[in-house]
Amino acid sequence: MTQTKTKKLLIYFTFVSPAVLLFALIIMLPFVRAIIFSFQDWDGISTDIKWVGWSNYTTIFHDSAYMKSFWFTLKYVAVSTLLVNVIGFALAIVLNMKLKTKNVLRTVYFMPHVIGTLIIGFIWQFIISQVFPQIAEWTGWHIFEVNWLSYPSYAFWALILVNVWYSAGYFMVIYIAALQGISTELLEAAQIDGVNRWQRMWHIILPLVRNAITICLFLAITSGFKVFDLNLALTKGGPFGSTESLALHIYQDAFANNNYTLASTKAIIFFIVLGAITLIQVFAMKRKEVEM
Q: Within positions 121 to 140, which residues make up the interface with another protein, using CB under 8 A?
A: 122-124, 126-127, 130-131, 134
Instruction: Please spell the DSSP secondary structure of 152-204, one letter per residue.
Output: HHHHHHHHHHHHHHHHHHHHHHHHHHHHHTS-HHHHHHHHHTT--HHHIIIII
Site string for another protein, 1-20 (x = CB under 8 A): -------x--xx--xx-xxx
Instruction: Please spell the DSSP secondary structure of 9-44, one letter per residue.
Output: HHHHHHHHHHHHHHHIIIIIHHHHHHHHHTTEE--S
Yes or no: say if 239 and 155 are a contact pair by the CB < 8 Å rule. Answer: yes
115 counts as binding another protein under rule CB under 8 A = yes
In a 3-state reduction of DSSP, which class is residue 2? Answer: helix
Q: Nearer Cβ to another protein, position 67 or 111? A: 111
Site for another protein in 138-177 (CB under 8 A): 165, 170, 173-174, 177
Cα 28 from chain centroid? 22
Alpha helices for 24-112 (secondary structure H):
29-37, 55-60, 64-95, 102-110
Site string for another protein, 43-82 (x = CB under 8 A): ----------------------------------------
The interface region with another protein, picked from 71-79, 149-157, 201-209, 213-221 by CB under 8 A, is 213-221
The interface region with another protein, picked from 62-70, 73-81, 150-158, 252-260 by CB under 8 A, is 252-260
22 counts as binding another protein under rule CB under 8 A = yes
Cα 215 from chain centroid? 12
Q: Count the site residues for another protein by CB under 8 A.
A: 88
Q: Nearer Cβ to another protein, position 156 or 249? A: 249
Q: Name the DSSP letter for residue 115.
A: S
Yes or no: say if 176 and 251 are a contact pair by the CB < 8 Å rule. Answer: no
Cβ neighbours of residue 288 under 8 Å, at least 6 residues apart? 210
The interface region with another protein, picked from 50-58, 69-77, 146-154, 225-233 by CB under 8 A, is 225-233
Q: Nearer Cβ to another protein, position 95 or 155? A: 95
Site string for another protein, 256-275 (x = CB under 8 A): ----x--xx--xx-xx--xx
Among 65, 82, 119, 206, binds another protein (CB under 8 A): 119
| Distance from the first to the final alpha carbon of the chain | 48
The minimum distance between CB 240 and another protein, in angstroms, equals 19
86 counts as binding another protein under rule CB under 8 A = no
204 counts as binding another protein under rule CB under 8 A = no
Cβ neighbours of residue 103 under 8 Å, at least 6 residues apart? none
Yes or no: say if 204 and 187 are a contact pair by the CB < 8 Å rule. Answer: yes
Among 233, 241, 244, 252, binds another protein (CB under 8 A): 233
Among 49, 215, 238, 239, binds another protein (CB under 8 A): 215
Among 99, 143, 290, 292, binds another protein (CB under 8 A): 99
198 counts as binding another protein under rule CB under 8 A = no
